[in-house]
Amino acid sequence: MNLDGKKNILRYGENPHQQGIFYGDLEEVFVQLNGKELSYNNLVDVDAAINLIEEFDETTFAILKHTNACGIASDDVLVDCWKKALAGDPISAFGGVLITNTVIDVETAKEINKLFFEIILSPGYDDDALEILKSKKNRIILQKKSYNFANKQYKTLLNGIIEQDKDMKTVEHELKNVTITYPTDRELEDLLFANKVVKHTKSNTIVLCKNKQLCASGVGQTSRVDALKQAIEKASNFYFSLDGAVLASDAFFPFPDVVEIASVEGITSVIQPGGSIKDKESIESCDKNGLSMIFTGIRHFKH
């Protein structure tokens, strides 16, 4: 870990009583076009947002809160992406971090400007769009640069530092259908979309998606069943129908209970790593209830 870069004293750390410092050159990553100085938490959220959006080639908009996506959608038209992402959880979106992989136009800026948010990141802004977004002087507006990030991650703990490879693994060429039923083309698109989102969500997590839109997620739970129940309740609160939705899990199912609950809600396809000694029970439950299930062979714990 290189600490020889620029030393940036932050307003404070994770909480006001903690000092925060960033070592590195933020100008390599983005240009700040508006707003107040970034804080420790801002930088943590920006890092999570960039890592998430870089999974997507199609036009995509995401809204993050405490490093988890509370809304994300892909579509042909940017303003439609925004509206679908916001619909995922308009309550949590308040004060959130917004990111897209597409230049922001005036129509989208007008819609975004209706929401109070902390930060927005984009590869670019139309001139009139930028003026609209600058209407709030403290709003942090960042123009993201193309940058190849390090493939190592570090964390301090106990009396030392741990290092690991960044989770860069993709699954497109390693998918294995394990059920009688196969996912439709639309379901497969949604499964891959959901798996990208679940990869960047705190464990234990369950992600529910439909038509390349996040319907809901259950995040940071101590059981996968609790994560699913949280996601189902959240989807219901924001009037999403889960008929035909897909489910992604960051790790395998130790029991068939997740599949059984999902089938009752109308979920039709599942993507998960596989590898449990009770995989057969989950597969049999899918077959019994007409669900398709894909194994990726790749776990995505995120602690």
Domains of the chain: total? 2
Helix (H, G, I), strand (E, B) or coil at 128: helix
In whole angstroms, what is the distance from residue 81 CA to residue 74 CA? 6
Task: Tell me the pLDDT tens digit for each residue of 127-168.
Answer: 999 999 999 999 999 999 998 888 999 999 999 999 999 998
Q: How far apart are the first and last CA of the chain?
A: 20
Instruction: Tell me whether residue 286 is in a domain.
Output: yes
pLDDT band at residue 227 using 50, 70 and 90 as cut-offs = very high
Instruction: Tell me whether residue 224 is in a domain.
Output: yes
Instruction: Tell me whether residue 154 is in a domain.
Output: no
Q: Are residues 186 and 124 in the same domain?
A: no
pLDDT for the residue numbered 2: 54
pLDDT for residue 4 is more than 60: no
Nearest of 302, 21, 298 to residue 169 by alpha carbon: 298
Instruction: Tell me whether residue 166 is in a domain.
Output: no
pLDDT for residue 107 is more than 80: yes
Q: Which two tokens stand for residue 40?
A: 């420790």
pLDDT for the residue numbered 228: 98
Task: Tell me the pLDDT tens digit for each residue of 273-290.
Answer: 999 999 999 999 999 999
Helix (H, G, I), strand (E, B) or coil at 216: strand
Last residue of a domain, one of 94, 128, 144: 144
Segment 225-238 shows an average pLDDT of 98
Q: Are residues 110 and 231 in the same domain?
A: no
pLDDT band at residue 54 using 50, 70 and 90 as cut-offs = very high
Q: Are residues 222 and 121 in the same domain?
A: no
**CA separation (Å) from 73 to 58, 62, 190, 197?**
10, 7, 11, 10
Q: Are residues 117 and 14 in the same domain?
A: yes
Q: Are residues 180 and 56 in the same domain?
A: no
Average pLDDT over all residues of the chain: 95
**CA separation (Å) from 222 to 176, 219, 227, 281, 303?**
27, 9, 8, 22, 12
Q: Are residues 13 and 130 in the same domain?
A: yes
pTM to 2 decimals? 0.95
Q: Are residues 13 and 98 in the same domain?
A: yes
Segment 105-112 shows an average pLDDT of 98
Last residue of a domain, one of 129, 144, 159: 144
Q: Are residues 106 and 215 in the same domain?
A: no
pLDDT for residue 171 is more than 80: no
Q: Are residues 119 and 227 in the same domain?
A: no
Q: Are residues 14 and 92 in the same domain?
A: yes
- Segments forming the whole domain that contains residue 116: 7-144
pLDDT band at residue 98 using 50, 70 and 90 as cut-offs = very high
Instruction: Tell me whether residue 168 is in a domain.
Output: no
Instruction: Tell me whether residue 71 is in a domain.
Output: yes
Sign of CA dihedral 170, 174, 275, 164: negative
Instruction: Tell me whether residue 263 is in a domain.
Output: yes
Instruction: Tell me whether residue 169 is in a domain.
Output: no
Domain containing residue 30: CATH number: 3.40.140.20
Last residue of a domain, one of 128, 144, 160: 144
Q: Are residues 128 and 16 in the same domain?
A: yes
